[in-house]
Amino acid sequence: MKLLTGNDLKTGFVTWWTGADWSLHIEDAADVGEQGEAILAAEEGARRVNAPYIIAGEITAEGPRPAHIKDRIRALGPTVRPDLTLKPADPAAGDWVI
Amino acid sequence: MYKYDEYDHQMVAARVAEFSDQVRRRLAGEITEDQFKPLRLMNGLYLQLHAYMLRVAVPYGTLDSRQMRMLAHIARKYDRDYGHFTTRQNIQYNWIKLEDAPAILADLASVEMHAIQTSGNCIRNISSDQWAGAAADEITDPRPWAELLRQWSSFHPEFSYLPRKFKIAVIAAEEDRAAMRLHDIGIQIVEQDGVHGAAFYVGGGMGRTPMIAPLIKDFVPLDDMLSYAEACLRVYNRYGRRDNIYKARIKILIHELGAEEYRRQVEEEFVHVKSLGIDPPKAEFDRIAAQFAPPPLDASAPDAIDRGDPDFAVWVDQNVAKHKVSGHAIVNISLKPVGGIPGDASSAQIDLMADLAEKYSHDELRVTHAQNIVLPHVRKADLHAIWQALDEAGLATPNLGLISDIIACPGLDYCSLANARSIPVAQKIATRFADPARQRDLGELKLKISGCINACGHHHAGHIGILGVDRKGTENYQLSLGGSGAEDVSLGTITGPGFDEDGVVDAIERVTDKYLATRTEGERFVDTFRRVGMAPFKEAIYG
């Protein structure tokens, strides 16, 4: 699958394209298939997101998972500060990254 | 400490106003990210993995308690309650919102700080010896010269768009505590026949092509220092490569030209530059230097230290350094607790260090390139009280210069350029060698970790260096041995094939075991490595 991601213009937070809007949670991410470039161009024009790009991912039991570790860290948060990730109460969240 | 004059205030205030309007226009959609990016970078605002990151300049690493408290305030109000002290004596905030950036810069300006020229292809924050003004071995305080360079390089119209970023360090002691020869220009204030001058080392650096700066001029009269620096920059600006980012640093130019030819061109340019009259009149330099006058220290203060508390005694032995004035000491506060994140400090810890500086250190603090904090002017009689306060705040780890005093870049946990995580490796190494007695037995051992080839973690200059790389989507760590950023400067040599995260920790333990079995009396790790070479260590690592 292909995922579209970027950083929110105002906050800089990592965002994922859901098919209709942007979400902070990768669980909401949609497979953009071959439409990625067109969505990217439109959303960049809308100026709500910075530096959008398309990445490879896979569907897992927990939902979409980026293929590369860098994007998995982006999706969760810093592995060395579990308290600052999107899943501070989940001790296994780091396993999803690594 | 230097205090802003009206020009400094006006320049910084004007920049805050300008950037505030640029942010407003960006948020309103009036300018694109492509248009905005160079503007935000000129104000130290990066976009990293999780959010915007703001890098705040701490000129030559010196700040007072009021400024330090402002750094805590920013962490508390605008970020997530902590900051990260960097290998260029700055501080970074990892979770800044674009809409808050103008308010943060205004807050910084209120205490004579800014984030200008902490990014971009310009002259970056001038770095220096963190013990400047206090070190027993310095011939003078290098900071007035660093401040002069700061003023000269700030908004320098000719050097705002250099081929690549440019870093300058200034020291005035034989012991190099600032990795001076690994800068684009390293200046050492030296003495000849009772007169001070500046030795210019040009063309050093780390990154993907590490080089040690050659000596370009052994003695530049201090009255000519700015003109000589200008000449060095002009030759680089004229001939430095702009067609290839990987060959754009001055080190590449000097390597390709040869030091002799570069020197010849600089000397030729210097003759012209000197005629322009850019060196300040003596009265102006004296005005700057007066602001770095030594604090009123009582040389008759008691020199003895009550070492009755063994934990305190260990901390004194490891983290306290000799001051130039009797009865006083330099306190080095380690930001490297075992298992912690190198260089990180909470707002409460930053506030505490500010309080201690105000109460015990003539209101001065320093940020070190090794990501620690210094209280430079402390009475020995106050050391125990300082240690107690630091200990309660988790800031009394007695490991300065030991294996757990690790320099580590933010790595892939935060940085968009990184290929591998640095911090977890640092944490595992520090935990493996957590026993303080074991660390002290190993002695001075500078371990430095970078998460990519840009080498912000100074791995080339580590007695033991680690470089994180991406091997087919998996983190892998290359080990190097024998580097040094000190006066015995050298570049590390890669041991061989890399390791995974746990494997590199095991490899380091095999290296230290081999060192313990091989060293002679009083020999540091790097000395043993230089004596016996790579072979025995390689055999210990790979069998």
Find, among B222, B259, B277, B98, the residue nearest to A49 by Cα.
B98
Whether A46 shows a pLDDT value over 80: the answer reads: no
CB contact, 8 Å: B51 with chain A? yes
Residue of A nearest to B411 (CA): A78
Cα–Cα distance between B335 and B373 in angstroms, integer?
7
CB contact, 8 Å: B417 with chain A? no
Say which residues have a Cβ less than 8 Å from residue B293's Cβ, sequence separation at least 6. Answer: none
CB contact, 8 Å: A54 with chain B? no
- Contact status, residue B232 vs residue B266, Cβ threshold 8 Å: yes
* pLDDT tens per residue, range B118-140: 999 999 999 999 999 999 999 99
Question: Which of residues B357, B392, B427 is at a domain's end?
Answer: B392
pLDDT at B159: 97
CB contact, 8 Å: A50 with chain B? yes
Angle between helices B143-153 and B225-239 (to 10 degrees): 40
Q: In what order do the strands lie in the sheet with B447-450?
A: B407-408, B447-450, B464-471, B474-481, B493-494
0.80 surpassed by pTM: yes
* pLDDT tens per residue, range A51-77: 999 999 999 998 999 999 999 999 999
Cα–Cα distance between B323 and B464 in angstroms, integer?
29
Owner of token pair 């009755």: B308
- Contact status, residue B470 vs residue B419, Cβ threshold 8 Å: yes
Q: Name the helix (H) or strand (E) containing B231.
A: helix B225-239
pLDDT at A82: 95
B298 inside domain: no
Residue of B nearest to A85 (CA): B50
Find, among B482, B490, B467, the residue nearest to B409 by Cα.
B467
Q: Which amino acid appears at position B360 of this protein? A: Y
Q: Which DSSP category does B166 fall into? A: B
Classify B185 as helix, strand or coil: strand
B251, B388: one domain = no
pLDDT at A94: 86
Radius of gyration over alpha carbons of chain A, in Å? 13
- Contact status, residue B427 vs residue B342, Cβ threshold 8 Å: no
Q: Which of A12, A69, A79 sits opposite B98 (nearest CB)?
A: A12
pLDDT at B473: 87
Domain regions of chain A by residue span: 2-97
Cα–Cα distance between A33 and A54 in angstroms, integer?
10
Residue of A nearest to B30 (CA): A47
Question: Which of residues B290, B321, B351 is at a domain's end?
Answer: B290
B434, B479: one domain = yes
- Give Cα separations from B321 to B231, B336, B371, B415, B440 (angstroms): 37, 18, 17, 34, 16
The strand pairing partners of B186, in sequence order, are B169, B201
Tell me the percentage of chain B whose pLDDT exceeds 70. Answer: 100
Owner of token pair 């590449």: B252
Q: In this complex, do B413 and A7 lie within 8 Å of one another by their Cβ atoms?
A: no
Cα–Cα distance between B498 and A51 in angstroms, integer?
32
CB contact, 8 Å: A73 with chain B? yes
Q: In this complex, do B27 and A9 lie within 8 Å of one another by their Cβ atoms?
A: yes
Tell me the percentage of chain B whose pLDDT exceeds 90. Answer: 99
Cα–Cα distance between B338 and B427 in angstroms, integer?
7
Whether B215 shows a pLDDT value over 80: the answer reads: yes
Q: Which of A51, A77, A78 sits opposite B47 (nearest CB)?
A: A51
Which residue of A5, A8, A11 is the best one to mutate when testing the B interface, meaning the one whose CB has the most B CBs within 10 A?
A11
Q: Of how many residues is chain B composed?
A: 543
B297 inside domain: no
Average pLDDT, chain A: 94
B415, B530: one domain = yes
- Give Cα separations from B434 to B252, B397, B480 (angstroms): 41, 11, 22
CB contact, 8 Å: A36 with chain B? no
Q: In this complex, do B413 and A79 lie within 8 Å of one another by their Cβ atoms?
A: yes
The strand pairing partners of B187, in sequence order, are B170, B200
pLDDT at A92: 85
Owner of token pair 């970027």: A6
B182, B75: one domain = no
For B385, the domain range is 310-392
B224 inside domain: yes
Q: What is the CATH number of the domain that holds B331?
A: 3.30.70.3340
How would you label B395-419 residue by residue, b for 16+ Cβ within 10 Å and e otherwise? bbbbbbbbbbbbbbbbbbbbbebbb
Cα–Cα distance between B77 and A13 in angstroms, integer?
17
CB contact, 8 Å: B303 with chain A? no
3-state secondary structure B304-316: CCCCCCHHHHHHH
Give the number of other Cβ atoms within 10 Å of residue B310's Cβ: 8
- Contact status, residue B150 vs residue B170, Cβ threshold 8 Å: no
B430, B362: one domain = no
B334 alpha carbon, distance to own chain's centre: 14
B448, B342: one domain = no
B363, B244: one domain = no
Q: In this complex, do A47 and B29 lie within 8 Å of one another by their Cβ atoms?
A: yes
Residue of B nearest to A79 (CA): B413
Q: In this complex, do A7 and B475 lie within 8 Å of one another by their Cβ atoms?
A: no
Cα–Cα distance between B226 and B231 in angstroms, integer?
9
Contacts of A79 in chain B (CB under 8 A): 413, 421, 424
B102 inside domain: yes
Q: Which DSSP category does B419 fall into? A: S
Model confidence band, residue A44 (pLDDT cutoffs 50, 70, 90): confident
Whether B88 shows a pLDDT value over 80: the answer reads: yes
Query: Checking phi first, is residue B443 left (phi over 0); if not, alpha (psi -120 to 50) or beta?
Result: left
B427, B364: one domain = no
Q: Which DSSP category does B99 fall into? A: G
Total structural domains within chain B = 4
Whether B433 shows a pLDDT value over 90: the answer reads: yes
How many contacts, defined by CB atoms under 8 Å, are there between A and B? 68
Q: In this complex, do A70 and B413 lie within 8 Å of one another by their Cβ atoms?
A: no
Classify B273 as helix, strand or coil: helix
pLDDT at B520: 98
CA-angle at B9, arms to B5 and B10, nearest 5°:
115
B265 inside domain: yes
Q: What DSSP string describes A10-78?
A: TT--EEEE-SSSEES-GGG----GGGHHHHHHHHHHHTSEEEEEEEEEEEETTEEEESSHHHHHHHH--
Q: In this complex, do A80 and B421 lie within 8 Å of one another by their Cβ atoms?
A: yes
Cα–Cα distance between A83 and B82 in angstroms, integer?
13
Q: Which of B33, B49, B51 sits opposite A11 (nearest CB)?
A: B51
Contacts of B33 in chain A (CB under 8 A): 9, 44, 47, 50-51
Contacts of A77 in chain B (CB under 8 A): 50
Q: In this complex, do A10 and B52 lie within 8 Å of one another by their Cβ atoms?
A: no
Q: Name the helix (H) or strand (E) containing B265.
A: helix B259-274
B183, B286: one domain = yes
Mean pLDDT across the stretch A18-42? 95
B126 inside domain: no
How deeply is B6 buried, as exposed, middle or buried, from its count of CB atoms within 10 A (0-12, 13-18, 19+)? exposed
* pLDDT tens per residue, range B179-190: 999 999 999 999
Q: In what order do the strands lie in the sheet with B52-56?
A: B45-47, B52-56, B91-96, B82-85, B344-346
Rounded to a whole number of angstroms, the distance from the CA of B456 to the nearest CA of chain A is 18
Q: What DSSP string describes B8-55?
A: HHHHHHHHHHHHHHHHHHHHTTSS-HHHHHHHHHHTTEEE-SSSEEEE
CB contact, 8 Å: B99 with chain A? yes
B161 inside domain: yes
Residue of A nearest to B414 (CA): A78
Q: In this complex, do A13 and B423 lie within 8 Å of one another by their Cβ atoms?
A: no
Cα–Cα distance between B331 and B131 in angstroms, integer?
10
User: Which pair of structure tokens corresponds to residue B429?
Assistant: 């190494």
Model confidence band, residue A45 (pLDDT cutoffs 50, 70, 90): confident
Mean pLDDT across the stretch B210-221? 98
Classify B282 as helix, strand or coil: helix
Q: ipTM of the assembly?
A: 0.96
B253, B316: one domain = no
- Contact status, residue B420 vs residue B53, Cβ threshold 8 Å: no
Q: In what order do the strands lie in the sheet with B373-379?
A: B62-64, B364-367, B373-379, B328-333, B320-322
Q: What is the CATH number of the domain that holds B229?
A: 3.30.413.10
pLDDT at A98: 87
B170, B44: one domain = no
Q: In this complex, do B49 and A69 lie within 8 Å of one another by their Cβ atoms?
A: no
